[in-house]
């Protein structure tokens, strides 16, 4: 589904974030990307959702090269990839329902479809009874669930989660990981960048270790080890 072929990323001609990455992620996989701060995890994710472009090498998405995507088709590619971040990125003046609905409104989706789809997705993430709460009325774990619902609302084939538990306590972190595992079971490919050993070891899924922009370990039923 996603293939990196000799991909490097150098920022401003001098900061080497990724160095000759060769990687294949299959449809339906759950992969955790680990490594120290600055190892290149976020950059790898940004290349997948096309926020950055590689300096060298090629990235393929469903066999199509990402550099061949026209500007017009870029939003379509991004809708196919749901993103979740450490800081939730919710709109503080909108309720949980409105935060998710907004992602549909900006795409011109009709109101009746919004009123049908949003409660369903909030139910899936376990917020069926919290739809009218504002972000400040929700716990960190609940806010991240809203962000997950928003990421899922376009029915993406991939979820990219960049340190989604970075601001959460251990119990909420485990809940978010369980939710990612549930979404993966329902057929969505999950690509997670994280420092959180406990949640990664709980998943016992593929673990890719980055160090200074290189893959130093790719373990199919991995544990997060210290290298």
For 206, the 3-state DSSP assignment is: strand
Least distance (Å) between residue 197 CB and ligand ADP: 15
Q: Which is nearer to ligand ADP, 138 or 208 (CB)?
A: 208
Q: Which is nearer to ligand ADP, 152 or 161 (CB)?
A: 161
Pairing of strands 206-211, 214-219: antiparallel
d(CA 226, CA 209): 10
Question: Can you read off the two tokens belonging to residue 98?
Answer: 């409105």
Residues 6+ apart with CB under 8 A from 100: 118, 121, 122, 146, 149, 150, 153
DSSP H helices, 80-139, are 96-105, 111-124
Least distance (Å) between residue 13 CB and ligand ADP: 10
Least distance (Å) between residue 163 CB and ligand ADP: 8
For 42, the 3-state DSSP assignment is: helix
For helices 111-124 and 96-105, the axis angle rounded to 10 degrees is: 130
Q: Which is nearer to ligand ADP, 117 or 162 (CB)?
A: 162
Q: Which is nearer to ligand ADP, 104 or 208 (CB)?
A: 208
Q: Which is nearer to ligand ADP, 7 or 96 (CB)?
A: 7
Least distance (Å) between residue 66 CB and ligand ADP: 17
Chain residues in the site for ligand ADP (CB under 6 A): 11-12, 15, 17, 35, 37-43
Least distance (Å) between residue 70 CB and ligand ADP: 24
């Amino acid at each position: 589904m996603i293939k990196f072929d000799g991909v490097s990323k150098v920022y401003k001609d001098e900061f080497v974030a990724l160095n000759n990455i060769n990687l294949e992620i299959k449809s339906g996989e759950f992969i955790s990307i680990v490594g120290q701060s600055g190892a290149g995890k976020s950059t790898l994710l940004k290349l997948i959702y096309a926020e950055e472009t590689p300096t060298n090498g090629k990235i393929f998405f469903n066999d199509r090269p990402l550099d061949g995507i026209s500007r017009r088709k870029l939003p379509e590619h991004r809708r196919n990839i749901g993103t979740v971040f450490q800081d939730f990125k919710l709109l503080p003046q909108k309720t949980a329902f409105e935060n998710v609905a907004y992602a549909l409104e900006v795409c011109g989706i009709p109101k009746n479809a919004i009123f049908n789809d949003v409660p369903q997705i909030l139910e899936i993430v376990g917020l069926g009874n919290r739809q009218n709460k504002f972000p400040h009325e929700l716990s960190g774990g609940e806010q991240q669930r809203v962000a997950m619902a928003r990421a899922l609302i376009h029915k993406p084939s991939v979820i990219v989660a960049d340190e989604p538990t970075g601001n959460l306590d251990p119990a909420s972190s485990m809940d978010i990981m369980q939710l990612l595992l549930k979404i993966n079971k329902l057929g969505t490919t999950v690509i997670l960048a994280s420092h959180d050993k406990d949640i990664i070891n709980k998943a016992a899924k593929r673990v890719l270790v980055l160090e200074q922009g290189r893959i130093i370990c790719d373990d199919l039923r991995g544990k997060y080890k210290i290298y």
